[in-house]
Structure 1
Amino acid sequence: MATAKTLFTTALLVGMAGVATAQVATAPRTPNSSATLNLPETVTVYGRPIPAIVKASAIVNGEVITQTDIDQRLALLAIANNQPIPKEEEERLRVQVLRNLIDETLQIQAAKQAEITVTQADIDRTVARVAEGVKRNPSQLADYLKQNGSSIRSIRRQIEGEIAWSRLQRQKIESQVSVGDDEVKAVIDRLNASKGTQEYRVGEIFLAATPANQAEVAANAQRIVAALRQGASFAGYARQFSEASTAAVGGDLGWVRPEQLPDQLSATLRAMGPGQLSQPIAIPGGFSILAVQDARKVLTADPRNAVLSLKQVSITFPAGTNAASADPLLQRFAASAQNIGGCGGADKVAADFKGDVVQSDNVRLRDLPPALQEMMLPMQVGQATRPFGSIEEGVRVLVICGRDEDQGANAPNPDAVFAQLQEERVNLRSRRYLRDLRRDAIIDYR
């Protein structure tokens, strides 16, 4: 029995045949140009059709980037963010991903021209580490990527680009960068002079811009900030979109003081705190987005380095509980936590509310979420936090059972200062080198 879909297809074919017959009846006869091929009247086609998605979107010095490449790399971004790409953002992100794939292709090509080889074994080792990080083996990772619209080939290509560019930087750039002992000493002297001032653990996404495309890049930067504020992964976006050399490490700049950065970034950073994200900041050559992951004072004992012994008391709610019906229980739970009577009282509170208790030792305060850090900085042993969490996933409090404070800070490390100075210079020269590669490339957009 024919299905509705089959009947519809048959009707469509019959209709098309009718139109073709009418056209033949009224048009003058012309010789059949395929007559010499002696083709059969009924054509049976074998093999798989060529996927429509495999079409060139750009050809970079003769190397093709397809729409499939773009879609699979876009899917990697969605996987990294653990959420689908909004429909209204897809086209813009495809354009950005294409630009990144072009840069990646240029980087791999430049490495090959410099006789730098990235072996399959090099890539295999990194793939194995990536798979281990998500508790899978490489085969399971490949299946997972395929199920989510990407491919192991796409992630292998990205890894190849990162390794090739890193090695090319070492050969072409790092070997040309020199940092003198006097420069290291000058930085250490400034650090000693600035003892007690604030420094920050910073992530950066840098988007290059020219006068011709500045407005477009600024709009893209605003969209990235909006996505990050909605919970997208900063490290994921940095790896895919940042044009700084720190993209490969998720945009991590390490610990920096405001005065080490350009004036525009310095002014913004001074006004930020842990967990905060900046608006796009216009700087020479493009736009930067900063994320502050942590803060501390230079060469000073940091209370966030305290090591805690904690007890967590958590309570849950039946499925479907709304805020109004949960509020009386939450109020009683908060009052009990405020008068918990130290860690010894945690078990009693848990029993009273049919909750659970988890003991956790050697927890660094700075490893906790920023909001909890701020809440717990002034707390004493035996005190509990205010309740936090959600009705759907459970509400909990943390009780401080023990606290070992930071005993002091180490003197500046000359090797670390040297490495940071070198990284800054390599980063700047890398941007210029990639700009030159773009300028000299033959790129055919399709």
Structure 2
Amino acid sequence: MRFRSSPLSTLCALALALAAVLPVFGSAAAQDILRIAAIVNDEVISAQDLDQRLDLAIAATGQPNNPELRRRLRDQVLRNLIDERLQMQEAGRMKIAATPEELDQAIRQLERQNNIPEGKFEEVVTRQGASIQALNQQLRAEIAWSKVIRRRVLPSIVITDEEVDLAIQQLKRDVGGTESLLAEILLLVDNPDQEEEARRNAVNIIEQLRSGAAFPAMARQFSNGSTATAGGDLGWVRAGTLPEEVERVVAKLSPGQISEPIRSTTGFHIVLVRERRQIRLGNPADATVAMKQITFPITPNTSRAEADATLSVARAVFDSVTGCDDLTRVARELQLKGGATDIPRQKVGDMPPRVRPIAADLEIGKLSPPVPSESGLSMYMVCERKETSQEPDRDRMRERLASARIEQGARRLLRDLRRDSVVEFR
């Protein structure tokens, strides 16, 4: 990315264009349009563009819209706007654009994701103080860029049968290990000059996440990764598939924890560990398990103090028990009614809906957190599990390998666009 002073011809052309529209606006709006935040290959990002995108980012994350937060987020929002202009310029060069039908489909999807009644999205966005025009611009850029990737990157992606075979062999070796359900915000760093700015932006984003901002919304607004439109969702990830620097940190995180900024050769990663589970080949619902259950009685007549004391005991049991024999001993010592109850061996898919996800994902000998049941707070442990024998799906594995290759190609393309661009900050 090169920097320069704007040529006189560009500024003159801009002034003439603005002179035609300024009478329509009030003086404050006119000043916002006249002020320039950045120029990207002679295309202007105005202060009004930046302010509207800040409004949208803050509304999406549910944080209070105050001057301090705007100051913290400004650099990253501007950086994303610059990338978006580069992407749209490349789409324009290739005569690619989002159709009205595609834009409408994207809005319907956002309505479903956010439990908004169909057709009410614009009303909700406006009520939250954001600009629907700014949102539409962002969605058009996402749609157009995805088309650019399909045309520029996808044709060069070739996944051989040998690569699929190797990936399946590795998956089989990993069976019995642990995989993590992850989400990520990625801030790319293309040259050393961007290092400190990207690190500072990552710290600011983490502060907002730990103050209550929703991770998917922050990822959508600030991540430079291809998973941004999916709220940063990386899906289930096994050891050995992430950059080494990221993997070392993620291995030490517990479910629900967010990492500090992690520097890799690509940029800064912010990773959320959502869940962990054992790696298995078959359908978890087809596995047969034997389980134990203990219950701490809590009724509507239980006082708040008694309930809090019971919950404290349940947490202590969760932290200390290892294995089904140990669970039986502890239940006897606590004189829990019924002790450690055996749940008959059965298929996970045949279990009650409340127990099914616990039986599917819980590691053998690990106690589940307390969950509400008819009798109070129940905790479960899988004592045995018999998996169904099933070969990994080759087509699905090929898709996973291709997705990773497409992500790498998209990053390279954006890096090249940045390298060849001329950007001036104001």
TM-score above 0.5, yes or no: yes
Deviations 1:126-183 (A, max 9, x none): 1122224334356532222222221211211111111111111111001111111100
Which residue does 1:49 correspond to in 2? 26
Q: Does 1:363 align with 2:340?
A: no
Query: Does the aligned pair in 1 maintain the 2:288–2:386 contact within 8 Å?
Result: no
User: SS where residue 152 of structure 2 aligns?
Assistant: helix
Counterpart among 222, 234, 237 of residue 256 in structure 1: 237
User: SS where residue 277 of structure 2 aligns?
Assistant: strand
Equivalent residues, number: 362
Q: Does 1:212 align with 2:193?
A: yes
Counterpart among 380, 396, 405 of residue 416 in structure 1: 396
Equivalent position amino acid for 1:153 in 2: Q
Q: Does 1:74 align with 2:45?
A: no
Alignment of 1:218-233 (within 5 A): 218-233=199-214
For the pair shown, which has the larger CA radius of gyration, 1 or 2? 1
Q: Does 1:199 align with 2:179?
A: yes
- Whole-Å separation in 2 of the counterparts to 1:239 and 1:162: 10
Give the drift of 1:56: 3.1
- Whole-Å separation in 1 of the counterparts to 2:84 and 2:212: 26
- CA separation of 1:367 and 1:70: change in aligned 2, threshold 3 A: farther
Query: Does the aligned pair in 2 maintain the 1:204–1:291 contact within 8 Å?
Result: yes
- CA separation of 1:180 and 1:153: change in aligned 2, threshold 3 A: same
Equivalent position amino acid for 2:370 in 1: T
- Whole-Å separation in 1 of the counterparts to 2:41 and 2:228: 24
Identity, in percent, stands at: 33
- CA separation of 1:107 and 1:278: change in aligned 2, threshold 3 A: same
Counterpart among 305, 309, 322 of residue 327 in structure 1: 305
Give the drift of 1:401: 11
- CA separation of 1:226 and 1:407: change in aligned 2, threshold 3 A: farther
Which residue does 2:413 correspond to in 1? 433
Q: Does 1:130 align with 2:110?
A: yes
- CA separation of 1:212 and 1:445: change in aligned 2, threshold 3 A: closer
Give the drift of 1:105: 1.6
Which residue does 2:136 correspond to in 1? 156
Deviations 1:209-268 (A, max 9, x none): 222231232222122222222222221121111111111211122222121122212222
User: SS where residue 221 of structure 1 aligns?
Assistant: helix
Q: Does 1:143 align with 2:123?
A: yes
- Structure 1 residue ranges without an equivalent (≥5): 1-45, 318-324, 343-359, 388-395
TM-score normalised by length of structure 2: 0.72
Q: Pairwise CA RMSD of aligned residues? A: 4.1
Query: Does the aligned pair in 2 maintain the 1:203–1:251 contact within 8 Å?
Result: yes
- Whole-Å separation in 1 of the counterparts to 2:47 and 2:257: 35
Alignment of 1:35-434 (within 5 A): 49-50=26-27, 51=29, 52-54=31-33, 55-85=35-65, 87-137=67-117, 140-209=120-189, 210-299=191-280, 327=305, 330-331=308-309, 362-363=353-354, 366=357, 378=367, 385=370, 398-399=377-378, 408=387, 410-434=390-414
- CA separation of 1:302 and 1:89: change in aligned 2, threshold 3 A: farther
Equivalent position amino acid for 2:32 in 1: I
User: SS where residue 190 of structure 1 aligns?
Assistant: helix
TM-score normalised by length of structure 1: 0.69
- Whole-Å separation in 2 of the counterparts to 1:78 and 1:113: 32
Query: Does the aligned pair in 2 maintain the 1:194–1:298 contact within 8 Å?
Result: yes
Query: Does the aligned pair in 1 maintain the 2:371–2:379 contact within 8 Å?
Result: no
Deviations 1:320-376 (A, max 9, x none): xxxxx953674489899x98868xxxxxxxxxxxxxxxxx951366589x9xx89x9
Of stretches 67-76 and 173-182 in structure 1, the one that deviates more from structure 2 is 67-76
Structure of greater relative contact order (alpha carbons < 8 Å, 6+ residues apart)? 2
Deviations 1:384-432 (A, max 9, x none): 9388xxxxxxxx9544799999763643221222122112222122111
- CA separation of 1:414 and 1:341: change in aligned 2, threshold 3 A: same
